[in-house]
């Protein structure tokens, strides 16, 4: 099995892809928009989605081994609602596998505490039930997730100095974005549309990355897709491989998986899909699982350290 220590000091595939992403983003917001506003929005959305995947690589130590260099490469706020520092903090907390899917301790969980769920009004439950299908996640999810994310961040800003620092740094990235967009043909309305579409694309990846399961090792999915979405998500569809080897760069994940496929499928108890096409066929209009966490009612389940601290409705916002 490939060792994480074999990672080079500079990863050229990641650096080249990042440069290409910035070029596509620049073209999408300028010349392609002039040619066709729809084409501009599509190209910019793809670039923003790819940028978010590259931010994910950066926080895991790519393409450089020096954290500040990686952070500098993804400093511009192409995805305007999530500061890189907050993405890094919440995502690294998410990588504590024993807490995966916990509504309190996993910042990327889409589940609710059943006790909280029982107190919600019917119309709110209906909204989240609709959001629990792939169609709903792509159509409702970008707005719902962003509002809940910002709601949670507002609470944290009041009492957490690190959160305030990350948002202040993000203002610098937003300033760079504004300096580009003010004279650009796309403008803010087009950019908001591109960001919405990019978020919808990202929701395809996050829709069923994790499931409720008694064994932490079996909570993470494998999607054996090698098409355009796999590239857009930088092979994060092989998600259990990424969770087991978070320092391995995106371009090595397929080879690592191919060499040890039976091991990973055994490891995650067969939680796998052949492709994103299969996921669309199964879950476009049908939920994968319930919104309230199905295991939290079990007597053996323990609410962990963050209970009552992390806002229950602040889940779904990070890329």
Instruction: Annotate 128-188 with DSSP letters as a single string.
Output: HHHTTSHHHHHHTHHHHHHHHHHHHHHHHHTT-HHHHHHHHHHHHHHHHHHHHHTTSSSHH
Residue 116's SS3 state is helix
Structure tokens at 71: 């952070």
Residue 6 has a pLDDT of 60
Q: What is the pTM of this model?
A: 0.92
Strand partners, 272: 222
- The two tokens of residue 36 are 């066709």
- Which runs of E-coded beta strand occur in the chain? 222-223, 272-273
> Is the distance from CB of 272 to CB of 224 less than 8 angstroms?
yes
pLDDT along the chain (319 residues), means of 10: 60 98 98 98 98 98 96 98 97 95 95 95 97 97 96 94 97 98 97 98 97 96 97 98 97 98 97 98 95 82 46 41
pLDDT score for 1: 45
Dihedral of the alpha carbons of 11, 56, 275, 201, in degrees to the nearest 10: -130
Which residue from 56, 67, 75, 77 is spatially nearest to 14, judged by alpha carbons?
A: 56
The pLDDT score that the predictor gives to residue 301 is 57
Respond yes or no on whether the N-terminal peptide bond of residue 63 is cis (omega within 30° of 0).
yes
CB of 233 closer than 8 Å to CB of 53: yes
DSSP 101: T
CA distance 312 to 289: 18
Say if residues 232 and 46 touch (Cβ distance below 8 Å).
yes
- Minimal CA–CA distance to 153: which of 319, 314, 318, 316? 314
Identify the residue whose tokens are 């040619």: 35
């Amino acid at each position: 099995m490939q060792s994480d220590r074999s990672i080079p000091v500079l990863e050229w595939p990641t650096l080249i892809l990042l440069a290409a992403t910035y070029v596509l983003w620049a073209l999408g917001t300028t010349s392609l928009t002039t040619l066709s506003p729809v084409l501009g929005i599509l190209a910019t959305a793809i670039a923003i989605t790819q940028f978010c995947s590259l931010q994910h690589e950066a926080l895991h130590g790519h393409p450089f081994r020096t954290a500040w260099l990686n952070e500098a490469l993804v400093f511009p706020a192409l995805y305007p609602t999530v500061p890189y520092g907050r993405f890094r903090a919440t995502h690294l907390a998410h990588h504590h596998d024993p807490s995966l899917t916990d509504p309190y301790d996993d910042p990327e969980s889409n589940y609710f505490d059943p006790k909280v769920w029982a107190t919600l009004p019917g119309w709110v439950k209906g909204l989240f039930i609709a959001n629990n299908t792939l169609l709903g996640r792509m159509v409702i999810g970008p707005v719902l997730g962003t509002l809940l994310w910002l709601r949670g961040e507002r609470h944290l800003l009041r009492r957490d100095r690190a959160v305030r620092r990350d948002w202040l740094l993000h203002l610098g990235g937003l300033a760079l974005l504004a300096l580009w967009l003010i004279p650009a043909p796309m403008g803010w309305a087009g950019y908001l549309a591109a960001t919405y579409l990019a978020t919808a694309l990202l929701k395809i990846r996050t829709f069923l990355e994790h499931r409720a399961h008694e064994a932490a090792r079996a909570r993470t999915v494998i999607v054996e897709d090698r098409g355009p979405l796999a590239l857009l998500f930088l092979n994060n569809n092989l998600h259990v491989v990424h969770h087991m080897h978070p320092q391995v760069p995106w371009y090595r994940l397929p080879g690592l998986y191919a060499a040890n496929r039976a091991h990973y499928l055994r490891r995650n108890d067969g939680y796998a899909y052949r492709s994103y096409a299969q996921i669309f066929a199964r879950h476009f209009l049908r939920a994968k699982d319930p919104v309230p966490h199905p295991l939290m009612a079990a007597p053996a389940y323990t609410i962990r350290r963050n209970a009552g601290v992390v806002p229950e409705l602040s889940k779904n916002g990070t890329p």
